[in-house]
Structure 1
Amino acid sequence: MNSNKLRRMVIIAMLGSVATVLMQFNFPLPAIPPFLKVDFGEIPAVLAVMTLGPVAGITVELIKNLLHWFLSGSPTGVPVGEIANFTTGILFILPIYYIFNKFRTAKGLIAGLIAGTVSMAVGMTLLNYAVFLPMYTYFLNMPPVTGDALHVMLFYGILPFNLIKGAILMALTILLFARMKTWIEKQRTKLMPE
């Protein structure tokens, strides 16, 4: 195994571990359903896509959610929350990768973060409607959420939650990028696959 491949694996494992720890410090937002919680576990995945590429970012998201499931369990017995969080992370980080990879500037990062936030908010609203809310209610033996309650949940809960979460992650990522720009470029030059 060459040293760059080993270094990539170590960085991905470290970022996945940091993401897991950050996911443990989650918190709800006022006036949003309390099962929706903000965590900062996406930030290590953003660093991974910026320095190592999309596969690394997805792997960090996978490590984070698998470890979280093993550490915390799931009220449904099935890791519905972790699958939803993994999907949220992918919807957030992939637009960042594609736009930042094209421009490699702070403006490119901001454009990627905005695209990632919109992708996450719209994607998770649709996926909660079609997949995740029905899964939760099925595995918890609850009646399905329908009608006005479903619309309120989607458009006054899930959509604004993901927009707010994206804005928080955007602010933190921009601050981190300002501090770590040199390191990010150095790692990117050394380790980004061709």
Structure 2
Amino acid sequence: MQNESKLFNTQNLVKMGILSALAFVLMRVLEIPLPIFPAFLKIDFGDVPAVIAALIINPFAGVVVVVIKNLLALFNSSTGGVGEIANVVVGISFVLPIGLCTYKNSRLKNVVIGMVIGVICMIISGMITNALITMPLFGEEACIGAGAALNPRIVDKWTFLLYVIAPFNLLKGVLVSSVGIIIVKGMQPVIKHLKVHQA
């Protein structure tokens, strides 16, 4: 209860609000389509502010930013909320391990370990989410067809997950982690200062 009240105090609510708005802008404005993936898969850096929230506040602040970012995205969603649901699951699976690994000690080494674990979790959760939610709701045949047009080895749901979803989330995780590490490295003194005042 005490941790919950700390998370939702005025100062943290302001930080999470600003970071959520920034995450939404990065997700919507800086979407990057890649020709090696179907058009509906785009790289964005909306999870970077969530990583920062997890580092400067606590792991669950990162989760809050991921959720708010996707709630904002619902207002102009082109997927009827399906993409946003998948994005929440995958985003949390990436951000939460980073926050947990750095909760007691935000050294760069811990950040990198958290990001490696986060990328692995992102790949696994991305495959599960697509298998159980995205593909059934978007149309399995349409997804497989879009993948097969780019890679003839894609012939069913499992090859789509293996050759499209897994590499996409690996690439996205590595890119977001790289940007995150650059930002975190520059923010190390600030993060340590904020961590001390959070305690």
Q: TM-score, normalised by structure 1?
A: 0.87
Which of residues 61, 68, 90 is equivalent to 2:73? 68
Alpha carbons of structure 1 residues 45 and 144: separation in structure 2 relative to 1, 3 Å = closer
Task: Please say if residues 45 and 58 of structure 1, whose CA atoms lie closer than 8 Å, have aligned partners that are also in contact.
Answer: yes
Three-state SS of the structure 2 residue aligned to 1:148 is coil
Higher relative contact order (CA 8 A, sep 6+): 1
Which of residues 64, 81, 84 is equivalent to 2:83? 81
Q: Which residue of 2 aligns with 1:148?
A: 155
- Tell me the amino acid that sits aligned with residue 44 of structure 2: D
In 2, Cα distance between equivalents of 1:144 and 1:173: 30
- Any gaps of 5 or more consecutive residues in structure 1? none
Written as runs of structure 1 = structure 2, the 5 A alignment for 1:1-194 is 5-24=9-28, 25-70=30-75, 72-75=76-79, 78-137=80-139, 148-191=155-198
In 1, Cα distance between equivalents of 2:40 and 2:131: 16
| Number of aligned positions between the proteins | 185
- After TM superposition, give the deviation of residue 52 of structure 1 in Å: 1.1
The alignment-based identity, stated in percent, is 34
In 2, Cα distance between equivalents of 1:143 and 1:92: 27
- After TM superposition, give the deviation of residue 136 of structure 1 in Å: 2.0
- Any gaps of 5 or more consecutive residues in structure 2? 146-153
Greater CA drift, 4-13 or 79-88: 4-13
Three-state SS of the structure 1 residue aligned to 2:155 is helix
Task: Please say if residues 59 and 98 of structure 2, whose CA atoms lie closer than 8 Å, have aligned partners that are also in contact.
Answer: no
Task: Please say if residues 8 and 191 of structure 1, whose CA atoms lie closer than 8 Å, have aligned partners that are also in contact.
Answer: no
- After TM superposition, give the deviation of residue 144 of structure 1 in Å: 8.1
- After TM superposition, give the deviation of residue 163 of structure 1 in Å: 0.3
Alpha carbons of structure 1 residues 144 and 50: separation in structure 2 relative to 1, 3 Å = closer
Q: Which residue of 1 aligns with 2:148?
A: none
Alpha carbons of structure 1 residues 119 and 130: separation in structure 2 relative to 1, 3 Å = same
- Tell me the amino acid that sits aligned with residue 194 of structure 2: Q
Alpha carbons of structure 1 residues 144 and 15: separation in structure 2 relative to 1, 3 Å = closer
Task: Please say if residues 95 and 112 of structure 1, whose CA atoms lie closer than 8 Å, have aligned partners that are also in contact.
Answer: yes
Moved over 3 A (4+): 142-147
Q: TM-score, normalised by structure 2?
A: 0.85
Alpha carbons of structure 1 residues 155 and 144: separation in structure 2 relative to 1, 3 Å = closer
